[in-house]
Structure 1
Amino acid sequence: MNATAIAQDGWGQDPAMNPIETVMWRAEADPALKSTMIALEVLDRAPDWADFVATHQHALVGVPRLRHRVVEPPFGLAAPRWSPDPQFDLHFHLRRSTLRSGATWKDLFSAAEQIAMSPFDRSRPPWEATLFEGLPDGRAAYVLKLHHASTDGVGTLQLMKMLHSSLPTTKRAGPRPERGGMTAWGVLGAQALDSARSAPSVVRRAGAAARRVVADPGKSLLDGVRYGLSLQRVLSPPPAAPSPLLAGRSVNWRYAALDVDLASLRAAAKAAGGSLNDAYIAALLGGYRRYHEGFGAPVDAIPMAIPISVRRDGDGGGGNRFATARLAGPVGVTDPRERIEAIGELVRTARQEPALDNIRVLAPLLARLPASVIAQIAGDMARSSDLQASNVPGAREEVHFAGTRVERLYPFAPLPGCPAMITLVSHLATCCIGVNYDAAAFTDGDLFLSSLEDGFTEVLALAGPDAGAARWLR
């Protein structure tokens, strides 16, 4: 996908943050609720620095959002707004680092953790990119840091396509100039103008809804009751108490990356009559079971959350378009086949809830509250889950970055107050799994990682003796 195509798709074209993005931006009044995303690519070699810079200059053409900072209105009276940074300097956003002699992948993850845990300069566009050299076998790594208010996981991969090319070429174009930035008071004026422009469509939708009620009041009443009951179900905590073993919380993140053969995980899922996502979550829960057993504190279920994309055909690129399903993860189901089946049923039921996308209803109300109150409410909701797990389809064909070949892409999603956020992105024939966990919740990190590996091993065994093994990048 080239710069023009992404621009036509509207990647990050809406200047106003939607309510979900506003909540994530302002919830950072609590440092434990940082919404920092990291995309880490392993490159077959270090690119030329000039090509590295030119690649980002090219991205600035199709993604003006990369030149935009966030402007808050006075007293939080409107949604924050994206506005061109009048002092934008690409030099600030691009960094270069060489790891120590004999560095391992663990050293890279340690450096990426520090990048992720460092707060953004909120007077600038909230993103940074770092090229790491000195990795084993002459490899290099590209670490892109984004704020979740910019986009979700799907949108991040759309952005990565902008940075990639189908062939290892380094020909790039420069960005187009933009008008000056907006002031804090200007945000209020823009909000009022947007409200005035949207008023006719709001009136039309209200009129259409009223006509439906008049035409069939019985059906309208029944639909309303169904939605209300569904809303009650999805907002109620899942029938599983948080694990006392994972009660600790801190602002200290730890990263690890796991490779799983994509074909083997699909075969394991098929053997149990489930989806790839079902098998993936079953493996994670198997790891949670083993970790608890290692401490002599077994649990039957844990509360967990799964982001579900609600993007539709015609939606522009970037932005945040997801809902969250809250489930009671069946940790105590020891048979991996039965666990896959149980998870499949839970996810299917969650997807069918009319109120699944309830965040669209609740976020506008939450976004109007003071930042400290937003942080309190969002923190309480996040801390009620022991696991958040996401799965995003990635590249199916070989891709290149600044003239180098991309071997892996590991996603590290934010850790908003829960013990672990684990994300899978498929890259060619590999499931690249990024694990972000709280060092205060998982007090024995080595046991946690070995337990997760064992969880994948028992699921992959369903694919037969030829199944590939799960391997940590160390």
Structure 2
Amino acid sequence: MADNNPFVPPSAVDVDLSAVAWGANRTMSDFETGMWRMEEAQPQLRSPIVAVEVLDQAPDWDRLREAVEWASHVVPRIRMRAVEPTLNLGNPVWSVDPEFDIGYHLRRVRLPAPADFDHALRMCRHLATEPFDKARPPWSALLIEGLDDGRAVFVVKTHHSITDGMGGIQMMTLLHSRRADPTPDKPDRTPPPAEHLSSIGAFGEEVIGEIRRAPSRVARLLRGVTNIAATAITQPITTTTEVLDYANSLRRIVTPPASSGSPLLRERGLGRWFGTLEVGVPELKAGAKAAGGSLNDAYVAALLGGFRRYHDAFGQSVDSVPMGMPVSMRTGSDPSGGNRFAAVRFSGPISETDPAKRIRQVREIVLNLREEPALDALDLAAPVLARLPNQLLASWYLSQSTGLDLQASNVAGVPVPVYLAGAKIERMFPFGPAPGCAVMATLVSHVGICCIGINIDTAAVTKPALLMQCIQDSLDEIVALGTTAEGA
């Protein structure tokens, strides 16, 4: 579920460096540590976030290199690698790579003729499936030139431990400009000095950090206990009710969806297939409004309708599929970067053939999920999970994620035209990680267009092009609801 307020990037010359605190934490959170480590034991759990930008022309290469170099000054995390403490006793520490080289992370390639967007997208997919070199900062970028129509593609891959989807959008906008011309007078920072942090040094930082954090943690704990005790004495019925409500919510959050996985999508593997869809924001909103739902409700309903069509094509009848959805926990006061989301799971209804009824079904489910008191359960459990042996943590997570046939994410995008080193960004397609699930769908709005990226496990979905056509047909059906309502 997305933050409904789109991020409007400032002009590069107007960037307030004092307000840029993207990825300010020196140490990975417990949740990020889990994502970082468990893929060592299970390659299926690799979690890259991939952004694919379609440009109207090839950008100026020198300007692009300078823009990325500038961004690495403004956001030091771009220049940092993760250093594991000795024996993994603590969380990884972000440290400036003493051998940081823009040329290693930012590359360019020209496709041989003939070449179209599908050729470029296949190259993006290959980039996404390559594991990171964890001795270096975990990100890479590639400019793909040579498309027959003169366009170009810029793809950026970052590890999920660096940021979630919204943080990724915030980082990407640092490379964007509100104008095509260069901005020579934009503010800058001195790049952070190289560090030679060792595993022992990282362990020492973790120990000192824990000592420094202990008093505030104890104080928060005591305040919490005091408040609970006071409430329990003065309002015993209210306290008991809240505890029971949280316990029931926790049970709903941790219990797997009632529906079992589709027999058609049972297999899991390492193969990936990228597909894209697009629909106008006004058109999708109109279809949603006609059924009494939001844009997000219509988007999820379209995915589920596409799943029904795909199953029908194989003669399979399935009432629902287990699915997951990230819920943004960001507030206006949260710094950029990092990971601030919770994950919910539920049974996604796919048997309903009426798109309006399906939208209303989704809306009821989503509204109930937003009100769950225990949405933060995974974050609370993260300190324990991060201390598990890698193999045990990976096995537990894989047992949870492989039970999902679909994950759907919706991230607010950029509502105004932006440029990358002189080239206009026409589309921005997001591809979220699919660690163990059959299909991961992500929507980002870009200048009035819903750009949808579909990350498909080809072991689960044996005919990905058919699934994409099924989802497109379902989107068209929902857009038709709005057209019909306007003509009535």
Query: Could you state the TM-score of these two structures normalised by the residue count of structure 1?
Result: 0.96
The verdict on how the C-alpha distance between 1:9 and 1:223 changes in structure 2, with shifts beyond 3 A counting, is: farther
Q: Which residue number corresponds to residue 339 of structure 1?
A: 358
Give the deviation of 1:177 after TM superposition. 3.5
Please tell me whether residue 22 in structure 1 is matched to residue 33 in structure 2: yes
Aligned pairs for 1:39-438 (under 5 A) are 39-171=51-183, 175-217=190-232, 218=236, 219-438=238-457
User: Which ranges of structure 1 fall in alignment gaps of 5 or more residues?
Assistant: 468-474
**Aligned equivalents of 1:214, 1:235: Cα separation in 2:** 27
Identity of aligned residues (%): 43
The verdict on how the C-alpha distance between 1:43 and 1:466 changes in structure 2, with shifts beyond 3 A counting, is: farther
**Aligned equivalents of 1:204, 1:192: Cα separation in 2:** 19
CA contact (8 A) 2:266 2:460 kept: yes
CA contact (8 A) 2:290 2:485 kept: no
Q: What is the SS of the residue equivalent to 2:414?
A: coil
More displaced, 108-117 or 198-207? 198-207
CA contact (8 A) 1:7 1:62 kept: no
More displaced, 283-292 or 1-10? 1-10
| Matched AA of 1:136 | D
Q: What is the SS of the residue equivalent to 2:218?
A: helix
CA contact (8 A) 1:310 1:322 kept: yes
| Matched AA of 2:38 | A
**Aligned equivalents of 1:174, 1:216: Cα separation in 2:** 49
The verdict on how the C-alpha distance between 1:20 and 1:5 changes in structure 2, with shifts beyond 3 A counting, is: farther
How many residue pairs match? The answer is: 467
The verdict on how the C-alpha distance between 1:221 and 1:182 changes in structure 2, with shifts beyond 3 A counting, is: farther
User: Which ranges of structure 2 fall in alignment gaps of 5 or more residues?
Assistant: 1-9
Q: What is the SS of the residue equivalent to 1:163?
A: coil
| Matched AA of 2:254 | L
CA contact (8 A) 1:9 1:317 kept: yes
**Aligned equivalents of 1:193, 1:73: Cα separation in 2:** 13
**Aligned equivalents of 2:110, 2:82: Cα separation in 1:** 31
Give the deviation of 1:175 after TM superposition. 4.8
| Matched AA of 1:14 | N
Give the deviation of 1:7 after TM superposition. 5.6
| Matched AA of 1:345 | E
CA contact (8 A) 1:212 1:220 kept: no
**Aligned equivalents of 2:443, 2:228: Cα separation in 1:** 44
Give the deviation of 1:350 after TM superposition. 0.6
Give the deviation of 1:238 after TM superposition. 1.3
**Aligned equivalents of 2:434, 2:18: Cα separation in 1:** 30
CA contact (8 A) 1:6 1:63 kept: no
CA contact (8 A) 2:113 2:148 kept: no
CA contact (8 A) 1:33 1:416 kept: yes
| Matched AA of 1:359 | L
Please tell me whether residue 11 in structure 1 is matched to residue 41 in structure 2: no
Output the aligned Cα RMSD: 1.5
Displaced runs of 4 or more, over 4 A = 172-175
Give the deviation of 1:48 after TM superposition. 1.6
For residue 461 of structure 1, the aligned residue among 453, 463, 480 is: 480
Q: What is the SS of the residue equivalent to 1:170?
A: coil
CA contact (8 A) 2:74 2:189 kept: no
Q: What is the SS of the residue equivalent to 1:325?
A: strand
The verdict on how the C-alpha distance between 1:316 and 1:381 changes in structure 2, with shifts beyond 3 A counting, is: same
| Matched AA of 1:27 | M
| Matched AA of 1:214 | A
**Aligned equivalents of 1:177, 1:359: Cα separation in 2:** 34
Give the deviation of 1:369 after TM superposition. 0.7
**Aligned equivalents of 2:315, 2:447: Cα separation in 1:** 39
**Aligned equivalents of 1:383, 1:175: Cα separation in 2:** 45
Q: Which residue number corresponds to residue 38 of structure 1?
A: 50
**Aligned equivalents of 1:216, 1:314: Cα separation in 2:** 28
The verdict on how the C-alpha distance between 1:363 and 1:6 changes in structure 2, with shifts beyond 3 A counting, is: farther
Give the deviation of 1:465 after TM superposition. 5.5
Q: What is the SS of the residue equivalent to 1:305?
A: strand
**Aligned equivalents of 1:276, 1:141: Cα separation in 2:** 27
Give the deviation of 1:355 after TM superposition. 0.1
CA offsets 1:243-262 (integer angstroms, 9 cap, x no match): 11101111011001111111
Q: Which residue number corresponds to residue 470 of structure 1?
A: none
| Matched AA of 1:213 | I
Query: Could you state the TM-score of these two structures normalised by the residue count of structure 2?
Result: 0.93
Give the deviation of 1:225 after TM superposition. 2.1
CA contact (8 A) 1:58 1:175 kept: no
| Matched AA of 2:270 | V
Give the deviation of 1:71 after TM superposition. 0.6
**Aligned equivalents of 2:467, 2:225: Cα separation in 1:** 54
